[in-house]
Structure 1
């Protein structure tokens, strides 16, 4: 008698999608749960009343944003990967096909210097989260109402316009550390696994898609905003049907109540570099790596750098709150520490409990800790 093959169950879908996505990009478990569920959502979006957007961002380049977009392209329904589309192409493609829009390098569109030239696109995206969203345009000698609803995934550095940000689930990526391996992404090798997952998703959607899209979920965390809550109805319904409801609720609560990326990536990297230099000078001077420096001491040294922007930052000089704002996206926060009997607020070099240390961030984004820096190199 032939041995039966092991059948993957519906409840394996979310974990299997998480494993596939997480094989090629370093992410948190919460981010994997959200993206796996969102992949499922794209396949039933045609039945839904709303769709949330996804915004994949990072403090700096080379953190895996484009690779994650390539992975998602293999899994979502009707993927359309774009960079800098014209208004005419964008409107007509979405109207005709209702694709899953995968928009990479969107920071080039909504950067402060270029946003004024892309108001048409922003208006289209503002309306595109609702199934019946329409944007009228005068084409030729008549008014055409373009359908603008479809799932949308954006990737970039910086921020989205506020109206888009409120409708987007942020996926914040970090630069991969040396001890965080990922699988090699060779398209011809990964396509068979992706196609198998697509087939399983299709079979599930045929049986449960309309139910998932039209079921009103319960138990949505109160911390999720009203702007986001309705858009995520189908995500909760999908996760509940697939046995991942509690995981998704915790994941979304964690992600949506966290800090969002600001638009100061260049100044952040400059600050990281200068802070590392400050610690390097102390190391070369004393032969010991400083474990902590107060914010006041750091500001004093930053203001002392020649040809630096810190003494004239915002026309008033760098302040403690500016350092906190710039470093927050790396997971760095000022802490109170006892120094010679006095309580001082500042930043630790090494990780302390759950707190990220400067050295970890230097390693991720600058490639070395302060002991490897020549303080005379400036």
Structure 2
């Protein structure tokens, strides 16, 4: 061994001073659970669950609720990873659940659209006093007949007892011209009805979703500007008239799932001119008139909110205490009106019966007056039948070619058939379609034309109309 490779002397270690070698600490299972925590307030799994863990329903729902609040771009960036973390859920399923959560969130945010009133603290021992107050408010603000004020008062009370009604008549507020108080009456009614929701324009899909979500009393203004050309909206309004036919089925969602919506609710509509005949049959016509120059009416904005709020509160309490009595009431329906009018007025007469004999008598008179006015106005089909009979009489014949019948209908400007189609005259095809509903059809006939010449062609025989004339024009 050379001098550079000297052996290192051994150092004696003091056993007492040396640090002992520590054995590894083995924790029990329960100790592992207790120690597996950190100082973060919320576990990261609440934000994005770990992919290797089984996610439970509560955590999954919390994640979906969070996603529902994200802007569209942020959601698109996260959806794939989140779907994998939720037990490898499909992205399509996640989209459906997030969409449902968003709809529920929108509903919660917009719950203030309709307001539930706190019932009055004391029982309402005489509801007729409240009804008289509503009547007086209508008298102070609206120019209309007594029958209209009675009908509107009863209709407002109807909105609070809908479970007692089988038919909910539409309140059709109409007038021949502008500035007759239609919007004013609509506003007054909304301030005293239950769960009022007002709109000046609405689509069919928005309407049935709104009714399903909020169960409101719906007030639609200016229907003359959009209703006649909106078949979907008319269908929803028609369906919501009767409890037995209150469901409408629509395709819903990306997978076109069939969903049924319940559209049974109270509705008031206003506008100038006529509405479709199917809606007229389901409505009570509330015709207003322009006030005279020497006639003074109050402004709705000057009506204290406390007054109408108290009326709503009193009606809410009265409803809670008297729903069964209204439902069991059996008023005698006027025999002078048709079956549909009786259906429309039944719930109003039930309420009038609870109000007392005076109100029941006023309700009967209003029913006959308003329904009588409605029945004086023939439908388009009935008017066509009457004018066809007139044409046969004018020509003094029992047979008419289709073209000659058309000429006769359009010759008289008072019959309106020359301008039926937006300024253009009615067509032979339209006449045939309407008459087909009465089981009357054209056939090959021999007749005399308007010049007296004998001709052959498609036409109508007067004898085919006799049964229809007797049933519909008598």
> Which category of TM-score, normalised to the shorter sequence, fits these structures?
0.5 to 0.7
1:41 lines up with 2:158 in the alignment: yes
Are 1:209 and 2:323 matched, yes or no? yes
The whole-number CA distance in structure 2 between the counterparts of 1:64 and 1:261 is: 23
Does residue 256 in structure 1 map to residue 368 in structure 2?
A: no
CA offsets, 1:343-364, max 9 Å, x none?
Answer: xxxxxxxxxxxxxxxxxxxxxx
Equivalence map 1:186-265=2 (5 Å): 186=301, 189-212=303-326, 214-243=327-356, 244-259=359-374
Q: Which residue of 1 aligns with 2:248?
A: 135
- Deviation track 1:103-158 (CA, whole Å, cap 9, x = no partner) reads 110111234xxx1xx11111111111112410000001211101111011110011
**What do the CA deviations read for 1:30-55 (whole angstroms, capped 9, x no partner)?**
11111001100001113322211111
Question: Contact 2:199–2:220 (CA<8 Å) still a contact in 1?
Answer: yes
Alignment of 1:129-208 (within 5 A): 129-132=241-244, 133-140=246-253, 141=255, 142-186=257-301, 189-208=303-322
Q: Residues of 2 paired with 1:225 and 1:200: CA distance?
A: 34
Structure 2 Cα separation of the partners of residues 99 and 210 of structure 1: 21
> Unaligned stretches of 5+ in structure 1?
1-6, 264-313, 323-378
| Partner Cα separation in structure 2 for residue 97 and residue 110 of structure 1 | 22
2:174 alignment partner, one of 50, 54, 57 = 57
CA distance in 2, matches of 1:258, 1:88: 33
Cα RMSD over matched residues?
2.2
Task: Give the secondary structure class of the aligned counterpart of 1:138.
Answer: strand
Shift of 1:316: 4.2
SS of equivalent to 2:226: helix
1:43–1:205: 8 Å Cα contact kept in structure 2?
Answer: yes
Contact 2:150/2:363, CA 8 A, preserved across alignment: yes
Shift of 1:78: 0.7
Deviation at 1:216? 4.7
Return 5+ residue gaps in structure 2 as ranges.
Answer: 1-123, 380-408, 417-474
Instruction: Give the stretch that moved more between structures: 168-177 or 203-212.
Output: 203-212
Match of 2:143 in 1: 26
Q: Name which of 196, 217, 232 aligns with 1:120.
A: 232
TM-score with structure 1 length normalisation? 0.64
Q: Post-superposition shift, 1:210?
A: 2.9
Secondary structure of residue in 2 paired with 1:179: coil
The answer to whether the Cα contact below 8 Å between 2:204 and 2:236 also exists between their aligned partners in 1 is no
Q: Is the 8 A contact 1:47 1:210 kept in 2?
A: yes
Contact 1:138-1:144 within 8 A present in 2 as well: yes
Once residues 22 and 149 of structure 1 are traced to their aligned partners in structure 2, the CA distance between those partners, rounded to angstroms, is 30
SS of 1:171's equivalent in the other structure is strand
> Where does residue 277 of structure 1 map in the other structure?
none
Distance in 1, matches of 2:378 and 2:291, equals 21
- Stretch of structure 1 that moved more, 231-240 or 51-60: 231-240
How far does the alpha carbon of each residue in 1:48-73 deviate from its partner, in whole angstroms, 9 at most, with x for none?
22211111101111110001111111
Shift of 1:190: 2.4
Does the Cα contact within 8 Å between 2:192 and 2:311 map onto a contact in 1? Answer: yes
The secondary structure found in structure 1 opposite 2:152 is: helix
Would you say the 8 A contact 1:215–1:234 is kept in 2? no
The 2-side partners of 1:224 and 1:262 are apart by: 14
Equivalent residue in structure 2 for 1:91, among 199, 208, 212: 208
Deviates more, 1:170-179 or 1:253-262: 253-262
Question: Following TM superposition, by how much is the alpha carbon of 1:315 offset from its aligned partner in structure 2, in angstroms?
Answer: 5.9
In the TM superposition, what is the alpha-carbon distance from 1:217 to its structure 2 partner? Answer: 2.2
